[in-house]
Amino acid sequence: MASCLRRYRRRILFFCLPCILLLPIYIYVSITLCNIMTYGAPGAHSVQPTHFMATGLKLSRDLAPHPAKTFWRSKLNSGALWNIMQYVTDCQHNPILNPRLAANPPGISYKTERSRRSRNRCSPDYKINNTMPDFFTLPSQIKDFVTTMHCRDYPLVIDALDVCERAPTLLLAIKTQTANFANREAIRETWGRSGRIKSRGGWQRLVRRVFLLGKSKDLHVEEKLQLESDKYGDIIQWEFMDTFFNLSLKDVLFWDWFSRRCPHARFIFKGDDDIFVRTPALLDYLLAEEANGSFSNGSSKPNKMETFVVGDVINNAAPMRSNGTKYYIPESFYKGLYPSYPGGGGVVYSGSLAHRLLEVSQRVHLFPIDDVYLGMCLQRLGVYPIHHPAFLTFDFPKDEPQEPCANHTILMVHKRSPAEMFQLWTETSTPSPKCRNATLRVQTGVQYTRQKPVHNRFLLSQFSFLLNS
Ligand SMILES: *[C@@H]1O[C@H](CO)[C@@H](O)[C@H](O)[C@H]1NC(C)=O
Ligand SMILES: *[C@@H]1O[C@H](CO)[C@@H](O)[C@H](O)[C@H]1NC(C)=O
Ligand SMILES: *[C@@H]1O[C@H](CO)[C@@H](O)[C@H](O)[C@H]1NC(C)=O
Ligand SMILES: *[C@@H]1O[C@H](CO)[C@@H](O)[C@H](O)[C@H]1NC(C)=O
Ligand SMILES: *[C@@H]1O[C@H](CO)[C@@H](O)[C@H](O)[C@H]1NC(C)=O
Ligand SMILES: *[C@@H]1O[C@H](CO)[C@@H](O)[C@H](O)[C@H]1NC(C)=O
Ligand SMILES: *[C@@H]1O[C@H](CO)[C@@H](O)[C@H](O)[C@H]1NC(C)=O
């Protein structure tokens, strides 16, 4: 026996030694792989939202070729209510986890105005206070939002029936509140005129206008609103409190209204009532985009029209964490960065994208800030918003030198009073010979630095606890 072993010792050593030597390497590789699968690759960029799920984004420039963070996390970060709720919904609609549901999505998981027939008033869900440890210390607008965020079933109080008898090229949908009569008057007489509008290039296109409102507490102004609707027929009002945190609800209800009352409009401009829009120039821009073939009619490419959304795109913004600001979002409600979104002051998208937004919004829980909510819906559609420097949702950069023709290079600017709207309308409708050939603003060094302070302010707010301590 011993001689037998001795005879084979060389052979045993020859075959087994490499295996024994490789064993530590094998163990090391296995452990590293396990770690990557659980915690994500080391040094991967942190621009990914914490709770990013593989949603099949194709056009996003943010997306790494491999997941930078685990997407099959076994336990959720506890505490962020929206993330947990959305995680559950995303899983239900994940095409990999749920191929049957993804191919054949269940109809409406959220009720919108469509289901009004049921007449069941949606009541606040106070039990939700248990899911947020700091619920009772939060500002009341967040409490109000959290207890009613499951409700979307608000009936129309005033409708605009005849606005889209003929499909317009451009529908202007303006967020406003009951008391802002002066803003609406100025818009009607300047950039929001309804009818066949002559573009700067000389094309005539049909433009229509609607104002989007909720309810206010002031009964007197509510009566005046009815008179205004009788006169102009451009008022849409729903039965919900018109507050800042209810603006994404306004978005969802508008998409629903659009799909029923104005489904064939080619483009929608959605914006605030304290902005100025150079509507004739906007028409030229949109017609050029259409004619350029960027809305491909080739059979191989998807229809670009279905992904068209343009505005002042904000990337990698973080939630405001300082209590007391209008935009304050506590960590117990949302964790992570926001997806890229076009600033809500003014944004343009195609009518066909609006139909898709209505559909996808039924699988995205409402978020208190409306432009971030639009970004969340776009992300789940795999649509990346186009940045255009002529959308000035933060006004002209403060450090930019005064240009005599600056007002003729923009598509929209925030924020402008009714008096300034009249002034700008006169100035831009009849430009001086010098400014007649002014072209739209392009991305320059000056504008690039403009984005930075915004970006830093958002990030700083997140780390302000370091500065304070
Ligand atoms: C918080 O939720 C509990 C039940 O979960 C309820 O009894 C209580 O009234 C709620 N508090 C408030 C202020 O709504
Ligand atoms: C936020 O501020 C309010 C007062 O403005 C305060 O009562 C509340 O405790 C603060 N909440 C947090 C989470 O700091
Ligand atoms: C939104 O409107 C509903 C219905 O009027 C109201 O119950 C809720 O408190 C409002 N939400 C916010 C955040 O104001
Ligand atoms: C037309 O679209 C292409 C991309 O589809 C773009 O590169 C080009 O700059 C556009 N041209 C004009 C004049 O807008
Ligand atoms: C798209 O349609 C236009 C006319 O509507 C045509 O001139 C153009 O060649 C078409 N492009 C493709 C890629 O089919
Ligand atoms: C541009 O418009 C603003 C009003 O928004 C006005 O105050 C300013 O004078 C205008 N600029 C020029 C160069 O006309
Ligand atoms: C504006 O453009 C037209 C033709 O495109 C040209 O004839 C005119 O000289 C230009 N005016 C100025 C001030 O550049």
Residue of 81, 123, 126, 144 to mutate, ligand 1, most atoms within 8 A of C-beta: 126
In a domain, 259, yes or no: yes
In a domain, 311, yes or no: yes
What confidence tens digit (pLDDT) does each residue in 152-180 have?
989 999 999 999 999 999 999 999 999 99
**Mean pLDDT split into 10-residue runs, the chain, 469 residues:** 66 71 81 60 40 39 46 58 89 78 55 43 83 91 95 94 96 98 98 97 96 95 94 97 97 97 97 98 94 58 81 95 93 94 96 96 96 96 95 93 93 97 97 94 53 37 38
Residue of 135, 136, 137 to mutate, ligand 2, most atoms within 8 A of C-beta: 137
Q: Which atom of ligand 3 is closest in space to residue 249's alpha carbon?
A: 1
Q: What pLDDT was estimated at residue 123? A: 85
Q: What pLDDT was estimated at residue 259? A: 97
Helix axes 247-261, 370-381, angle to 10 degrees: 60
In a domain, 21, yes or no: no
Cβ < 6 A, ligand 4 pocket = 288, 292, 294
Q: What pLDDT was estimated at residue 117? A: 40
408 lines ligand 7 (CB under 6 A): no
Residue of 290, 292, 307 to mutate, ligand 4, most atoms within 8 A of C-beta: 292
Q: Whose CA is nearest to atom 10 of ligand 5?
A: 297
404 lines ligand 6 (CB under 6 A): yes
- The CA distance from 420 to 276, in Å, is 8
434 Cα to the center of ligand 6, angstroms: 15
- Nearest-ligand number for the alpha carbon of 296: 5
Tell me, what CATH number does 458's domain have? 3.90.550
Tally of domains in the chain: 1
In a domain, 351, yes or no: yes
Q: How far is CA 51 from its chain centroid?
A: 17
In a domain, 76, yes or no: no
Q: What pLDDT was estimated at residue 126? A: 87
Q: Whose CA is nearest to atom 6 of ligand 1?
A: 127
Range of the domain at 424: 156-468
403 lines ligand 2 (CB under 6 A): no
In a domain, 443, yes or no: yes
In a domain, 276, yes or no: yes
Q: Whose CA is nearest to atom 2 of ligand 5?
A: 297
293 Cα to the center of ligand 5, angstroms: 7
Q: What pLDDT was estimated at residue 29? A: 77
Q: What pLDDT was estimated at residue 312? A: 96
Whole-prediction pTM = 0.79
Q: What pLDDT was estimated at residue 176? A: 98
Q: What pLDDT was estimated at residue 40? A: 47
What confidence tens digit (pLDDT) does each residue in 258-310 have?
999 999 999 999 999 999 999 999 999 999 988 775 555 555 455 788 899 99
Q: What pLDDT was estimated at residue 402? A: 87
Q: Whose CA is nearest to atom 9 of ligand 1?
A: 126
Q: What pLDDT was estimated at residue 455? A: 35
132 Cα to the center of ligand 2, angstroms: 14
Q: Which atom of ligand 1 is closest in space to residue 136's alpha carbon?
A: 13
- The CA distance from 204 to 208, in Å, is 13
Pick from 423, 325, 366: nearest CA to 89 = 366
- Nearest-ligand number for the alpha carbon of 285: 4
Q: What pLDDT was estimated at residue 133? A: 86
Residues contacting residue 424 through CB under 8 Å, at least 6 positions apart: 190, 276, 407, 416
In a domain, 13, yes or no: no
Q: What pLDDT was estimated at residue 314? A: 95
